[in-house]
């Protein structure tokens, strides 16, 4: 696991450039995408690169990490809406190639197929991740088994509190979500985790200390051969 400390802007440029480089080399690559405020700068750079013809997403396939249970993709708080709004609607991607777990209807049927669908598409080349203050990745909260595949998860109290800022009241935050599991994430060939701001410092410090434990889900990444963590000064680990 490599940790790179730089400004948020520099990290957003470097990570977007890695993704653009991959697409230009392998036009039908598979991207694993995340929501939350953290990857927004990278997505903005990808939109700019698409608009200026630096890259084409025409054959790119994407799989998102998670979705709130019970929210339709048209709901402003859903992660499908977030992805359309912040990335897919502004690039030349085929929407049929964009996958976000379904949180409604036959979501269980969708869950059962999600990991196979990723595999059949060639597997994730680069997985983008953020991190929760409790060390969750996607919606894999502390205690999630390391061999978990896509499943329904209960959100931790702290996650509901952290994510309430996107809703008009905390009571509106769904308490469950569909999420790729920790094993699903570990199957990616390359993983890039981004963390910015002092509220992520504690989690990043714990992650880079190197103890692997189900109590701190992100620590599974220590066992992956190709993980780079991009942090700004505020989120940089305590020595």
Give me the residues that bind ligand GLP (CB under 6 A), please. 34-38, 65-66, 130-132, 138-139, 159, 163
**Burial of 215 per CB tally in 10 Å (0-12, 13-18, 19+):** exposed
Told to judge if 134 belongs to the known catalytic residues of this protein, a careful annotator would answer yes
Told to judge if 66 belongs to the known catalytic residues of this protein, a careful annotator would answer yes
> Smaller CB distance to ligand GLP: residue 55 or 65?
65
> Smaller CB distance to ligand GLP: residue 55 or 196?
196
| Residue 4 DSSP SS3 | strand
Q: How many CB atoms lie within 10 A of CB 225?
A: 8
Residue 198: CB minimum distance to ligand GLP, A: 12
Told to judge if 136 belongs to the known catalytic residues of this protein, a careful annotator would answer yes
> Smaller CB distance to ligand GLP: residue 19 or 65?
65
Selected catalytic residue, list 99, 110, 136, 151: 136
Residue 163: CB minimum distance to ligand GLP, A: 6
43/110 Cα distance (integer angstroms): 26
> Smaller CB distance to ligand GLP: residue 150 or 159?
159
Residue 59: CB minimum distance to ligand GLP, A: 26
182/148 Cα distance (integer angstroms): 5
Residue 102: CB minimum distance to ligand GLP, A: 16
7/196 Cα distance (integer angstroms): 9
Q: Which residue has the tokens 């991009």?
A: 230
**How many CA atoms lie within 13 Å of 239's alpha carbon, on the beta-carbon side?**
0
Catalytic residue positions, numbered: 66, 134, 136, 141
């Amino acid at each position: 696991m490599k940790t790179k400390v730089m400004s948020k802007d520099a990290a957003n440029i470097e990570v977007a450039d890695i993704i653009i480089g991959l697409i230009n080399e392998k036009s039908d690559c598979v991207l694993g995408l995340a929501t939350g405020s953290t990857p927004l700068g990278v997505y903005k750079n990808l939109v700019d690169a698409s608009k200026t013809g630096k890259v084409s997403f025409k054959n790119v396939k994407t799989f998102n990490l998670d979705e709130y249970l019970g929210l339709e993709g048209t709901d402003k708080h859903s992660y499908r809406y977030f992805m359309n709004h912040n990335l897919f609607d502004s690039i030349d991607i085929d929407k049929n190639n964009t996958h976000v777990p379904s949180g409604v209807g036959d979501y269980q049927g969708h869950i059962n197929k999600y990991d196979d669908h990723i595999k059949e598409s060639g597997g994730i080349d680069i997985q983008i991740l953020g991190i929760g203050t409790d060390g969750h990745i996607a919606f894999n909260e502390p205690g999630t088994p390391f061999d978990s595949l896509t499943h329904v998860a209960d959100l931790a109290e702290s996650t509901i509190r952290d994510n309430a800022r996107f809703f008009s009241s905390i009571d509106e935050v769904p308490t469950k979500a569909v999420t790729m599991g920790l094993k699903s994430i570990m199957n990616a060939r390359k993983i890039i985790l981004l963390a910015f701001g002092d509220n992520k410092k504690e989690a990043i410090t714990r992650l880079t200390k190197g103890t692997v434990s189900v109590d701190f889900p992100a620590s599974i990444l220590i066992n992956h051969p190709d993980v780079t963590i991009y942090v700004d000064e505020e989120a940089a680990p305590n020595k």
